[in-house]
Structure 1
Amino acid sequence: MKTLTLPFLLVALLISGCAKRNLTYFSDIEPNSNYSIAVREVSEIRIKPFDRVRITVNSPSTEANLLFNRGKVAENIETINGLEIRQESTDQNIYLVGKEGFIEFPILGQIKLQGLTLHEAREELKFLLKSQVKEPSVNLIITNFKVTVIGEVNRPSNFLVGSERINIFEAIGLAGDLTLYGKRENVLIMRDIEGVRNVYRVNLNNKDILNSPYYYLQQNDIIYVEPHGQKEKDAKNNSTLITVLSVASSVLVAIIFNYQNLFN
């Protein structure tokens, strides 16, 4: 009887050894209470090298509209097995921002867009177009605005963003939320700014994230959710548990076999 009891005691100890963790977002907000905070000024998205921008020009002149909306075909560069494969995009009115921050625009030639907000870029293009077209209006959007969510989430991937703004919780929602092992208190955001790669840490359990400068994401941001140390412990515990159950089943089979032999 003691032999049978020991494995079950070991299993109980393994289960009870799991650490208690905080899995609640904004857990420092008091239960059944409201919370409000003034929204800080949101940093606008700025155009970066290798962004793809769709530019549409409208004016009273049909001829001018046809001229400026034919678009320079963007070049798509993919690296496969160390080789650069260049393909032309069939999308019209899409311009690839080059490494130096310029696009090649019909008639106007090279225009530097790097570092401009979308509003500033629209106004710059309108100003330049006024020498060619009467009353021009310009629509400009980034077509390859994407964020990447990896680590302890249910659906790690990169996601194209259809608007000019996305916050960290929306991105995590696209990735199917964090797993039980995701470290909510220490999420990393990787962001390239003017050739410098920066890494920031945010705490999703704390309400201060709502007013953090990293609450809203920028194009090409990478969110990495670290695994909690408990995952490694559980993996070791599971291995130990399998071993214990294997030994216990062998002992049980031996006892049953011996029991049957006693009465045969």
Structure 2
Amino acid sequence: MNKIYAVLALALIILSSSCISQKELTYLQEQEGQTDSLRVLTEVQKPYRVQINDILNVQVKALDQETTQILNPTGDANLNASSQERAYFDGFTVDLRGNIRIPILGQVQVLGLTTEEIQDLIEQRLLEDEFKDTAQIFVTVKLAGLRYTATGEVGSPGTNVLFQERVNIFEALANVGDVALTGNRKEVMIIRQYPQGQEIHYLDLTDRAVMQSPFYYIQPNDMIYVKPLKQKSWGTGTTGTQTLGTIAAVFGLVTTTILLLTRL
């Protein structure tokens, strides 16, 4: 009888330690000392600064639109292409020197500038070299999609392009099928590119304070990696029912083996 109690106690210990608790699955939990108001937890996003290999969409408008046709890619050769493909063919890629090559203007240094700063720079160059103030030119510069990669314990690992100005970490993960049940939501890695190289940052998605993080909003070329929980490597199951089933199967196998050996 004592042996049975010992086996049951061991099974309960394994069951409690191998199941994934709700605390590890719930997003944006309120921690001790935090306020109930979500408004104070939102971090103001800093303007994104252009990096090498970014693709920019540049559009120039004027009173006489015919004079700006050479500056605006038409994409006629790619009418059947997807939005992502057309952004690639029609956009201006930042080269290894940090330049984009624009008709009439030639090489324009844009590395480390915001899109608003690039707009002002191109407009100024055009007014100096090609147009007069009376042309009333209007320049818009946008990133040709926000490209990022998500891998690890997510529903659909891969590279995505979202045509939005800004995307937070939850939106980015939702677009790849969200974090799997076996994913570690407390240590989500953001691998971000900087002019000096790559850096790794961590986000705890279960903590409401994540919205205060400067990495809450993803940036182009970010890589998101979700590590697996230790329960996955144990192979005992992620829910109580799965774990109990595994324990029952193992217990039954051990019992059968013991009975067979005692009969020999």
TM-score (norm 1): 0.75
Question: 1:130: Cα distance to partner?
Answer: 0.9
Match in the other structure for 2:3? none
Q: Within 2, Cα distance between the matches of 1:151 and 1:91?
A: 27
Cα RMSD for the two superposed structures: 3.6
Relative to structure 1, the CA distance from residue 182 to residue 92 in structure 2 (aligned partners, 3 Å threshold; closer, same or farther) is closer
Q: Is the counterpart of residue 175 in structure 1 residue 176 in structure 2?
A: yes
Question: 1:66: Cα distance to partner?
Answer: 1.4
Are the aligned partners of 1:192 and 1:198 in contact in 2 as well (CA < 8 Å)? Answer: yes
Q: Deviations over 1:185-209 (max 9, x none)?
A: 1111000100311001111111211
Q: Within 2, Cα distance between the matches of 1:17 and 1:93?
A: 54
Q: Which runs of 4+ in 1 moved over 3 A?
A: 6-17, 33-36, 70-73, 88-93, 235-252
Determine helix, strand or coil for the equivalent of 1:184.
coil
Question: 1:219: Cα distance to partner?
Answer: 0.3
Q: Within 2, Cα distance between the matches of 1:20 and 1:186?
A: 15
Are the aligned partners of 2:55 and 2:88 in contact in 1 as well (CA < 8 Å)? Answer: no
Q: When you count strand as a share of all residues, which structure comes out higher?
A: 1
Match in the other structure for 1:76? none
Q: Within 2, Cα distance between the matches of 1:158 and 1:224?
A: 12
Relative to structure 1, the CA distance from residue 70 to residue 146 in structure 2 (aligned partners, 3 Å threshold; closer, same or farther) is closer
Determine helix, strand or coil for the equivalent of 1:155.
coil
Determine helix, strand or coil for the equivalent of 1:37.
helix
Q: Which has the higher contact order (CA 8 A, sep 6+)?
A: 2
Relative to structure 1, the CA distance from residue 91 to residue 71 in structure 2 (aligned partners, 3 Å threshold; closer, same or farther) is farther
Q: Within 1, Cα distance between the matches of 2:90 and 2:153?
A: 38
Match in the other structure for 1:18? 18
Unmatched segments (≥5 aa) in structure 2: 1-5, 77-84, 238-242
Q: Deviations over 1:77-109 (max 9, x none)?
A: xxxxxxxxxxx9796642111111111111111
Q: Deviations over 1:4-26 (max 9, x none)?
A: xx999987775444245321112
Q: Within 1, Cα distance between the matches of 2:86 and 2:20?
A: 51
Question: 1:72: Cα distance to partner?
Answer: 10
User: What are the residue-to-residue correspondences of 1:39-188 with 2, within 5 Å?
Assistant: 39-70=42-73, 93-131=90-128, 132-133=130-131, 134-188=135-189
- Percent pairwise identity: 27
Relative to structure 1, the CA distance from residue 92 to residue 172 in structure 2 (aligned partners, 3 Å threshold; closer, same or farther) is closer
Question: 1:180: Cα distance to partner?
Answer: 1.7
Match in the other structure for 1:28? 30
Q: When you count helix as a share of all residues, which structure comes out higher?
A: 2
Bigger Rg over Cα: 1
Q: Within 1, Cα distance between the matches of 2:41 and 2:101?
A: 42
